Chains A and B, each alone.
Chain A
Amino acid sequence: MTTLTTGASQAGMPELLPGDVRMLLTGNYAVSYGAMRARPQVVPIYPITPQTPIAEKISDLQLAGEFDVDLMTAESEHSAMSACITASLTGVRVFTATASQGLMLMHEMLHYASGAMTPIVMVNVNRTIGSPWGFWPDQTDSLAQRDTGWIQLYTENGQESLDTVIQAFRIAEQLLVPAMVIHEAFYISHALEPVVVPAQERVDEYLPPFAPQHRLDPEIGESWGNVVNQDMFYRHRKRLGEAMARVPETAIAADTEYEALMGRGYGILERYRMEGAEIAVVAFGAMCGTARVAVDRLREAGVSVGLLKIKLFRPFPIEQVRAAVAGVPKLVVMERNFSPGVGGVLHQELKAALYGMADPPQVHGYLAGVGGVNVSARKIEELVGKAMTEEPVAESVWQR
């Protein structure tokens, strides 16, 4: 995709903070700029549609002398992630990006990365997994990595992706847990939009250099990768769990401080127009944007509806989700993610999170937009109306 940008600030748009620039960027290019501002020293990467523009833009920025980075082009995604782990273990900041089949090929090394406590930040551009072959948005690629020990943050637009990449380094490095920032094909990855790129000095203030106590360094003489006994493995897994459990509070603090410095914050989840809601749509990623429009229209028509946007999906913030839906009689999950034999992945996770809660909401699970099928605001309005008039069933229900 051709670079079409301008640094001009404009009438009709919010004032910029000193040193910030507003550019017309795709979601993928926004990610590349966010990565550049975070100053990773090593970026091992392998191109794949629809992630490729991220790699291309990083390469452009490196060539232009703006991004001082060791950009390694690996021979596969498995190798790219292997190089990420090794580089990270030496104590440098590491970024990469992939999508779909590429993420699948990394799967083995994703477990290794979290086990090695390497705070790598990776962007995954959601795309349907073959077969059959497609290039369409759903989130089954990243959701299939639920159990790999990576933080997962889902974003709604290019600006949020840029901001979240910077925040993710902060969270990952504080806890030594790798983090995945996830946005969807086309609707975000290839959508050109006005994006604010924050001033380098302000990002530097937010994100100090990565300086881990333990690292591979001949001067120090530490190593990683030895065989351990059962007891050591037990303790190590438990420690990973403890770090994961601290993610929600760490992510909230990282976002609060980011907002204070940059003027933009997102939370780990968002309650949109939930006051007095009789029903709430629960969604993540790009669909939240369309759902906001549907919620506004329904509210105008007198329907008490809200939206719960789930941004942090791993760890699933059970406590915060329960607090967010307390008192809401009905929830309706809308998602593109069909797990054969289970149903909707978010539907399943949400029900598990609410199990045992006092006076829990009823939960409807709608499979809307599977395979990248379009989900318009009108469709969301229609599905809200449907959920309001029927009793929920245990299974996720296909909707078209």
Chain B
Amino acid sequence: MLQLRIQGRGGQGAQLAGEILATAYFREGKYVQAYSTYGGARRGTPVSTFIRVDSAPIRERCDIEEPDAIVCFDPSLLSPALLGGARPDTVVLVNSNRAPSSFCDLGDYRFATLDALAVAQKNDLGRIVNSAVLGAFARVIGSPGIEHLANVVRDVSPRKSEENAGATMDGYRLVRILGKPDPEGLEALAGITPGSATEGGAA
């Protein structure tokens, strides 16, 4: 069983990202379970999404304490509590413009980073980062298939479906993985200055 935890803040689209991942795995014929917990159901408060993927029916009804992967939409949420159940083989994917090695003082995990904000801006999505993060996820975990995932993103985006699918493909291409050389084309992101928030995207 693959067990994932996505940590974000209300309004960042972390919950929808979890639903998109669940849909992609479901359409691949996998059993999935995805749910989110949140306190205030409002922008800015932490939202935790838990996803299980398996080839057999899933019976557990509890939080994931030892995830195989943690996806963190906001580096400020990388708390000891969040990382507590992680193992050395746990993938920790962070939405950040920093290098993966810069997070290594937090523990011995397989860090990966994506400057999802820059990818979103490049794809005319303003501050909507979830579609880019999903692409990076598919790369570091090795599933779901990226073309298939991009198709699901295109299907479920309420608007700017091509831009969101493009961000997913870019996220897949541009994710930086600890211990591996930086991907080609990364320098193009460096020139993108975060601008003001605009509407659109998959959130």
Interface residues of A (CB under 8 A from B): 1-2, 4, 6, 8, 10-13, 24, 26, 49, 135, 156-157, 184, 186-188, 190-194, 286-290, 292-293, 374-378
Residues on B with C-beta less than 8 A from A13 are 29, 31
Residues on A with C-beta less than 8 A from B61 are 156-157, 184, 187-188, 191, 286-290
Q: Do the beta carbons of B55 and A374 come within 8 Å of each other?
A: no
Residues on A with C-beta less than 8 A from B58 are 193
In the complex, the chain A residue whose C-beta lies closest to that of B57 is A194
Dominant secondary structure of chain B at its interface with chain A: mixed
Stretch at the interface among B33-41, B109-117, B159-167, B171-179: B33-41
In the complex, what's the smallest C-beta–C-beta distance from B34 to chain A, in angstroms? 4
Q: Do the beta carbons of A192 and B22 come within 8 Å of each other?
A: yes
Cα–Cα, bound, A188→B158 (Å):
26
Q: Do the beta carbons of B62 and A376 come within 8 Å of each other?
A: yes
Q: Do the beta carbons of B55 and A12 come within 8 Å of each other?
A: yes
Cα–Cα, bound, A123→B130 (Å):
33
Dominant secondary structure of chain A at its interface with chain B: loop
4 nearest A-B pairs in the assembled complex, by CB-CB distance: A286-B61, A191-B35, A12-B29, A289-B61
Interface residues of B (CB under 8 A from A): 15-16, 19-20, 22-23, 26-27, 29-39, 41, 55, 58-63, 65, 156, 158
Q: Do the beta carbons of A24 and B26 come within 8 Å of each other?
A: yes
Taking a contact as CB atoms closer than 8 A, the residue among B27, B34, B158 that contacts A8 in the complex is: B27
Cα–Cα, bound, A251→B183 (Å):
61
Residue in A1, A26, A193, A293 whose Cβ sees the most chain B Cβ within 10 Å: A193
Residue in A24, A157, A292 whose Cβ sees the most chain B Cβ within 10 Å: A24
Q: Do the beta carbons of B19 and A192 come within 8 Å of each other?
A: yes
Cα–Cα, bound, A309→B167 (Å):
46
Taking a contact as CB atoms closer than 8 A, the residue among B29, B31, B63 that contacts A11 in the complex is: B29
Cα–Cα, bound, A194→B34 (Å):
10
Taking a contact as CB atoms closer than 8 A, the residue among B33, B55, B59 that contacts A292 in the complex is: B59
In the complex, the chain A residue whose C-beta lies closest to that of B40 is A135
In the complex, what's the smallest C-beta–C-beta distance from A320 to chain B, in angstroms? 23
Residues on A with C-beta less than 8 A from B22 are 4, 24, 192
Contacts beyond the supplied A10-B26, A24-B23, A293-B60: 12 A-B pairs with Cβ under 8 Å: A2-B16, A6-B26, A26-B35, A135-B39, A156-B61, A186-B35, A186-B36, A192-B34, A194-B26, A194-B32, A289-B59, A289-B61
In the complex, what's the smallest C-beta–C-beta distance from B191 to chain A, in angstroms? 33
27 inter-chain pairs at a CB distance below 8 angstroms, sorted by A residue, are: A1-B15, A2-B16, A4-B19, A4-B20, A4-B156, A10-B26, A12-B55, A13-B31, A24-B23, A24-B32, A26-B35, A135-B37, A135-B39, A135-B41, A190-B35, A191-B35, A192-B33, A193-B32, A193-B58, A194-B32, A287-B61, A288-B61, A289-B60, A290-B60, A293-B59, A375-B62, A377-B62
Cα–Cα, bound, A376→B61 (Å):
8
Residues on A with C-beta less than 8 A from B16 are 2
